[in-house]
A and B are shown apart, each in its own frame.
Chain A
Amino acid sequence: MSERKIRVLVAKPGLDGHDRGAKVVARALRDAGMEVIYTGLRQTPEMIAEAALQEDVDAVGLSILSGAHMALVPRVVELMNANGQTNVKIFVGGIIPDEDVPRLKEAGVMEVYGPGASTEKVISDIRAAIPTDR
């Protein structure tokens, strides 16, 4: 049948007012041939983990502009692990201070993309991280 599609959840946890960045990434992943599940603004970590489970995604992209990433991101990781989704790659985009990046990676995040990051890099990182024979 058709080749296996990479499925990515793009979500915005927390109270950010707009989702322009998240939409740019969603669109770029779509144009790279991936299936992007888009959930919109103001998602709780619980909502994100539940959507990731039901949609059986390969990767989750979290876009956070509010500064609450050190509270929100580890919580998402924790909930997803509790659901048994330990192999799902998690990446973060938005306004993340440099000193927080290693801490997020320690918490289980694959990569962090700040303002100006290229969508090509996001795409190639995702492709590299996800086995195609699943």
Chain B
Amino acid sequence: MELAQAVLNGDRLALARLLSRVENATPEGLAALDEIFPQTGKAHLLGVTGAPGTGKSSLVNQIALHYRKQDKKVAIVAVDPSSPFTGGAVLGDRVRMRDLTGDPGVFIRSMASRGSLGGLAQATAGVVQLFDAAGFDVIIIETVGAGQSEVDIARLAHTTLVVEAPGLGDDIQAIKAGILEIADILVINKADNPAVGSTERALITMLELAHPVRRVFQHHGQAFEVPAPENSSPDESRIWIPLIRRTVATEAKGLPELLEAIGLHVAYLRESGDWARREEARLEAEFDLLLREGLREHFRQQVADEVVAGFFAKILARQIAPREAVSQVIQRMQA
């Protein structure tokens, strides 16, 4: 197919158009994903999530600028929410990314979430695959302003940054389940705020509770050493303890340190075998989902809707149990 070939050859207009077809799940878009699949799996997928107003877009802007200094090609997928009432959306992440215009090594694409609740859109994974095949070295995925449970990004990205800002909540917020648990790197943005110290302490406390291998802690300004618990992993190097980094994205502060932390995480993923494991888990989940969808479609073609409705009527009348009905329906498909 010409569009997919043009994308592989670096045609930006073709890439933009194919991204729309993938986003709209048109037959052409889906066929293109099949065609480019062997070319995927090379890019580093960097997720950026966090509450609205923590500075995700400004931070993405800075991260991209720094990767450009290393001559890496950067794609940005910025997801913003769709209105649940009208289906419309205002996608405003580009406002903070104007430093990146005019650079052919950068491609920014805004996406509306279109009803998905996990912080990404349904088609985000496909869009990322297309950027991957098009030869981008780093793909930064910015989620919708996420609250506490939008954790889809951790399944998609290799490295997940959770962006916090000082003064957004007390330390009980830090030990709740959800978004903080998916962080590979915790970024405290707006670190010029005087409350940065207490935010950082809350996050450190949260990490110490989650990772008992950590051995040094502060108490009343004094450092104490605690031996690792007996039941902790013997091979500590295999465990990634989330790093904390401070940034002021609007002033480009803290970026070299953040980029270094991302580099450490990539090195860890490679050495520990986690990179391969994450790829495997992701592809398995995708395969499983598509297999279920495919089987469902196959089933609908084989078994008339009236047959299914007939079984359901029997279930409603308590003549047959749901599980028994399913096994009888499936036998019909095989017959």
Contact = CB atoms under 8 A, between A and B. Distances in A.
Given A1-B24, A47-B101, A37 B13 contact: no
15 contacts: A1-B24, A1-B25, A4-B24, A32-B86, A32-B88, A33-B86, A33-B87, A36-B90, A40-B92, A40-B95, A47-B101, A51-B108, A53-B12, A54-B108, A84-B13
A34 interface: yes
Contacts of B90: 26-27, 30, 36, 38
Interface of B: 12-13, 16-17, 19-20, 24-25, 82-83, 86-92, 94-95, 98, 101-102, 107-110, 112, 114-115
Given A30-B88, A36-B88, A54-B107, 10 more contacts: A2-B87, A30-B86, A31-B88, A35-B82, A39-B98, A43-B98, A47-B102, A51-B108, A56-B16, A56-B19
B228 to A, nearest CB: 49
A5 interface: yes
B98 A55 contact: no
Given A39-B94, A47-B101, A50-B102, A5 B87 contact: yes
B20 A56 contact: yes
Contact of A31 (B20, B24, B86, B94): B86
Contact of A55 (B16, B24, B25): B16
A3 to B, nearest CB: 8
Interface string A36-74: 111110010011001101111000000000000000000
Contact of A2 (B13, B19, B114): B114
B298 to A, nearest CB: 19
Contacts of B83: 30-31
Nearest to B89: A35
A77 interface: no
B74 to A, nearest CB: 12
Contacts of B13: 53, 83-85
Nearest to A40: B95
Contact of A39 (B19, B95, B112): B95
A92 interface: no
A38 B92 contact: yes
B290 to A, nearest CB: 14
Nearest to B88: A30
B248 to A, nearest CB: 21
A35 B95 contact: no
Contact of A33 (B88, B92, B102): B88
Interface in A76-118: 83-85
B98 A47 contact: yes
Contacts of B107: 54
Contacts of A40: 92, 94-95, 98
